[in-house]
Structure 1
């Protein structure tokens, strides 16, 4: 078994994942994102405590952590944009210090989108590709690369941060400080904002959201369709740019916005044909993610599994068995 943690602004999930990538035990608590760093750390400890009650806990051979970013995998620290209390927080050290974990095998830290790429390459929509881009399109936009059949997180763990490349030189300002970022066009927040600005509104009793815009688009609302078309065009430009630079074969799209299905994927494939025009790019495929809510956990487990396989830690279990 491999222990996995998936830390986001809404929830902290944990799981035990077996050699085949199946989640066999799960724990989850709300993220106290607006509270202190210590309160956050205690919540993670509580998730680990819950996992430790499973009979399989004594067979755990590695620990993987997927976290919202930015991350610094070299230092083992995280500074998630949506968790204000954590700035350069020593997450690996904090998890390593849990009393139920043995020393000898370093917990593996990944950004959440990189973890999604690891999961989709292991078991999901990119499993037949040696070179792939996997993207999370939700409140924000992130990504991770598989190159030459291996995960490519980069020196700091942030390679694939595709939401913050510019696809519009004179585009709208982004929260990161740049202009025309993919995230400013393609995220769920951006889709909703653009639709509202063009006069769209949700039905009675509904709140504006990307899902509500998608529902209107399926009913033929032209403003909602235009908002998704704009998102798809930005994503297509970014994917084509990745293909030109890295010769990726597959782009996998997950996250909440991808739940719109063909409302997103039909215009995305249309625009991609206009951007990916060089001969070596024309067979580029776009697929929806296959693993949905478990991708972060499975990806974290995949990284821990890889580390154990490469002999980077002790051969003995990394956890104490709980007493009866």
Structure 2
């Protein structure tokens, strides 16, 4: 997919956005709940509910197929960024696994999910489950968190092995962006008014991608940048439209800042994962609080904390729409 086609996807989606966004809700205080959509970076245990399986030592790969037994059934050694943010904002228990207790919990993120229609529990499936659970009505006093696309970026990078022209890879990126647009529109039409939208991480900095060498890292950074260049006007359209609150979280920038100056965040080792493969002796590092990466692609609890604190700062005093 060429850059011009990507641009056309964005333009068509923005026309639909401006046609739809015409309401003007009253603004009030903090969100009454978080409603979360995404992948393993936000999964509080939904993958375990589905798989009933966990990763235990010895680990055979830097990219896990299931959540870790240690760390509360997360793809990390502890709570994800959005769960930590919810603690700060007193929005618990809404960030618990919705696949375990729908409505009580409203975090629909599932490890391995894609933004585009690919595989089970993609972004559209998650949004559909949420609307089913809430009677097709999205509460206006909730904060809707959308952090999807990381696995699509990994797929786009892997696609270069079969098509080095980037055409297939950019097609994957375009499909992910189109799905995010569509689902933002769907949520707004159902009543959602306040969003926290997270852009794509710089996957070139993940330990699993570093191991692939400089050429793969360069391609990974390019694809991440292309994704974010397409996402920005989508989010700007939402932010500019009447009656909608949107806060963007630049996790691409955050990750680059961590790697550039780890000491400023209390970290030391920014190139290696905390876990070790093929060993029972010491499968987890002794000091995970100094590592941003738990494994080949996922943050440690400490890495998630930095994202949570950045999200809290980005949200600031931004109000959330009250229910009508």
Taking structure 2 as the reference length, the TM-score comes to: 0.34
Q: Which has the higher strand share?
A: 1
Which one has a bigger Cα radius of gyration? 1
> Highest relative contact order (Cα 8 Å, sep 6+), 1 or 2?
2
Taking structure 1 as the reference length, the TM-score comes to: 0.34
